[in-house]
Amino acid sequence: MKPRNFRRAALAVALAGLATAGIGADLAPLPEPKFNAAQAEMGKFLFFDERLSGDAALSCATCHDPQKGWGDGMPLSKAYPASEYFRNSPTLLNSGFKKRFMWDGRLDGADMGTLVRDMITEAHTMNMDGRLMQERLKQVPEYNEMWQKFRKDDINGMRVFNVVGEFVKTLVSKNAPIDKFLKGDQNALNGTQQEGYALFKGKANCVACHNGPTGSDGMLHKTGVPENPAITAEPLRHITMARHYSTSGMPNYMNTHVDVGSYAITKNPKDKGKFATPSLRDLKYTAPYMHNGMFKTLDEVVEFYNKGGGAGSELRPLNLGDSEKRALVAFLESLSGDPVTVDKPRLPAYKARVFGKN
């Protein structure tokens, strides 16, 4: 190999090494959200409208409650009546910037419409038939008017999914101290928080996986969070998990009593126990933490990482002292902004159709 090429190859190897170790990666300020304003305005109504679920009892806000950090505040999520879910309901804040959706990363972050379709039509979330939803919405005159602001045809079930998605894209953290700091305001973080940030990027190396604007590399990792015993002890939760495995075509799923994470999707044994790195923003409002809500506080989370995570994890022990742990927690808190809430709008009522008019 000629010396110049050799140098280039050596540099490429070195850079690849840096990328996998996460060195050089950092957090970044949040970009401006992009969404269609007219669609987002209608999407706001639909987000809170229970008529989008089969039995007209649940809306998106039931499990993604603006008063509870856009999650539901419980370790494991509820589900459509007569079911219970086996994972935590994640916050919707900043989902417009995610690379993957769902704890196991099974959906593409660029395709919010498909995610909303699943939430509305899956039997364990809103259990709604798309055609029934379309006809229900067409029977609400105000919804037809809102629709006309961005389309000239009738309300169409498939497009409704995108309309809800446009509203979700508006949900973005505001005024987090970290954004001011990253934009150059050295006083935005106090001394302890800055010490925590140095640990985050240095000794604790959280930044290897938690980087970019949301604090997520968008990749799948194994940290070994302990199982939530409720997913086997409570039949309703176990049923939902088994149903998820059988739909995904996972082999031997009836003998699986743990949440295998992305393995159910990829069927690659290396992916057992891997989950998508979540955002670290607005943690102040989104406890309990992890895919199964096993940690109630950030102190517990930091303690978990300090021990090197759980069984089979790709982490290593950190040997942080008490004041270092406190600094790291103080830094994590600085990733939260002002509360982002939206009031439930007054929902327009059904009205019998006047033929030829609405």
- For residue 31, what are the contacts with CB-CB under 8 A and spacing of at least 6? 97, 213
Rounded to a whole number of angstroms, the minimum distance from the CB of residue 167 to ligand HEC is 8
Distance between CA atoms of residues 63 and 8, nearest Å: 51
Closest CB to ligand HEC among 277 and 336? 277
Residue pair 83/124 in contact (Cβ under 8 Å)? The answer is: yes
Q: Can residue 223 be called a binding residue for ligand HEC (CB under 6 A)? A: yes
- Residue 182 amino acid letter: L
Q: Which amino acid is at 202?
A: G
**CB contact set of 165 (below 8 Å; sequence gap of 6+):** 43, 112, 113, 115, 116
Peptide bond into 3 cis (omega under 30): no
In this complex, which beta carbon is closest to ligand HEC, that of residue 44 or of residue 291? Answer: 291
Here the tokens at position 11 are 């540099």
In the chain, the amino acid numbered 301 is: V
Which lies closer to ligand HEC via its Cβ, residue 245 or residue 289?
A: 289
Which residues are CB-contacts of 336 (< 8 A; sequence separation ≥ 6)?
Answer: 173, 176, 281, 282, 283, 284, 285
Binding region for ligand HEC (CB under 6 A) out of 10-18, 23-31, 81-89, 340-348: 81-89
Task: Fill in the per-residue mask, 105 to 144: x = in contact with ligand HEC (CB under 6 A), - = not in contact.
Answer: ----------xx--xx----xx------------------
Q: Which of 156, 148, 138, 151 is nearest to 51 (CA)?
A: 138
Q: Output the smallest distance, CB 347 to ligand HEC, in A.
A: 14
∠ CA(116), CA(120), CA(121), 5° rounding? 115
- Rule CB under 6 A: say whether 304 interacts with ligand HEC: no
- Show Cβ contacts of residue 209 under 8 Å, excluding neighbours closer than 6 positions: 22, 216, 217, 219, 221, 277
> By CB under 6 A, is residue 301 in contact with ligand HEC?
yes
| Residue in 30, 178, 189, 225 binding ligand HEC, rule: CB under 6 A | 225
Candidates 168, 178, 189, 340; binder of ligand HEC (CB under 6 A) is 168
Interacting residues with ligand HEC between 256 and 295 (CB under 6 A): 275, 277-278, 280, 283, 286, 289-291
Residue 299 Ramachandran class (φ > 0 left, ψ -120 to 50 alpha, else beta): alpha
Assigned token pair, 74: 């419980």
**Is 179 or 324 the residue whose CB approaches ligand HEC more closely?**
324
Can you read off the two tokens belonging to residue 79? 């589900």
Determine which residue in the list 44, 169, 201, 221 makes contact with ligand HEC, applying CB under 6 A.
Answer: 221
Our CB check for ligand HEC shows the closer of 182 and 214 to be 214
Closer residue to ligand HEC (CB): 147 or 304: 304
Q: Which CB atom, from 111 or from 355, has the smaller least distance to ligand HEC?
A: 111
Is residue 169 within 8 A of residue 70, CB to CB? The reply is no
Taking the complex as a whole, the smallest distance from the CB of residue 320 to ligand HEC amounts, in Å, to: 8
* Residues 242 and 253: beta-carbon distance below 8 Å: yes
Binding range to ligand HEC, per CB under 6 A, among 86-94, 131-139, 176-184, 235-243: 86-94
Query: Residues in contact with ligand HEC, total (CB under 6 A)?
Result: 51
Which range binds ligand HEC by CB under 6 A, 6-14, 186-194, 217-225, 226-234? Answer: 217-225
Burial status of residue 222 (CB atoms within 10 A of its CB: 0-12, 13-18, 19 or more): buried
- Smallest gap from Cβ 3 to ligand HEC, in A, equals 37
Stretch that binds ligand HEC, among 129-137, 172-180, 208-216, 247-255 (CB under 6 A): 208-216
Residues in the site for ligand HEC, rule: CB under 6 A? 58, 60, 62-64, 77-79, 85, 87, 89-90, 92, 95, 98, 101-103, 115-116, 119-120, 125-126, 164, 168, 204-206, 208-210, 221, 223, 225, 275, 277-278, 280, 283, 286, 289-291, 301-302, 305, 314-315, 328, 332
